[in-house]
Chain A
Amino acid sequence: MDRIPILKLGGVLIVTIQVDMHDRLALALEEDLTAMIVRTGARAVLIEISALEIVDSFIGRMLVSIAAVSRILDADTVVAGMRPAVAITLVELGLELTGIKTALNVERGMALIQSRLAEEEEDGCGGDREVHEG
């Protein structure tokens, strides 16, 4: 079965969606990301969607669901690189990406994640985190 690859860069998991999403792929991505957050102790997930020609409520629901599960596992979700036409369409569709932070591109998404992680460390709530191997 196809799978979307997940890269780990420091405490961040990076996913770039390059294919037209269908049900099985969306479910597999959600499962893989969840397992990988727990395994690596990642603090953030960056999902890059510049190749997506549309985001309908099915894909929107997948993104919201990934963000909700990540949140429970103490990781932030940032969606980066949405096309302008997709953004316009999402507003008209009425889809709210609840719990998701967005960034114009991967670079800005990484900067957003890093500044949040730095903030947390200053507050003393970041840093030490049990990592489950296995």
Chain B
Amino acid sequence: MTVKSTKVETLPIRSGDDVVRVRQRVRALAIEIGLGLVDQTKFVTAASELARNALDYGGGGEVRAEIVQAGMRKGLRLTFEDQGPGIADIEQAMTDHYTSGGGLGLGLGGAKRLSNEFHIESTPGAGTRVTIARWK
């Protein structure tokens, strides 16, 4: 089925305050597409993990938020992008409790579990792009 985007916006991730703003915006969009409270909470949490990853490991970046529609179904898709050092071993980075920094190492694996769709691509030296989606 074709998926079309109906609303697209981009938010910067340059500071801790931006991470808070991303959470608030994702919450508003999740409400707009009619996600229930638990699903909203899960997806906002996933977004918060990925925004913080982009900030802490990617040196900052941005997120593109899209309301997507496939037939009658509505969803919210977020694409986090940074131009940081990238991830050499994605499989390892996805493992719970693996961390290259001072974090808990739950960001990527956790974000995947909290989303319906998860996609990651990374080029060492060029950056990382993570896409997640949650459908109503």
Contacts and interface: CB of A to CB of B under 8 A. Distances in A.
16 contacts: A20-B23, A22-B16, A22-B19, A54-B48, A56-B48, A56-B49, A56-B52, A57-B49, A57-B110, A58-B52, A85-B41, A89-B38, A89-B42, A92-B113, A93-B106, A94-B110
- Do most interface residues of chain A lie in helix, strand or loop, or is the interface mixed? helix
Interface of B: 16-17, 19-20, 23-24, 27, 37-38, 40-42, 44-45, 48-49, 52, 96, 103-104, 106-107, 109-110, 113-114
Given A89-B42, A92-B114, A61 B17 contact: no
A57 B103 contact: yes
Interface of A: 20, 22-24, 53-58, 60-61, 83-86, 88-89, 92-95
A56 B41 CA distance: 10
B16 A24 contact: yes
A57 B44 contact: no
Contacts of A23: 16
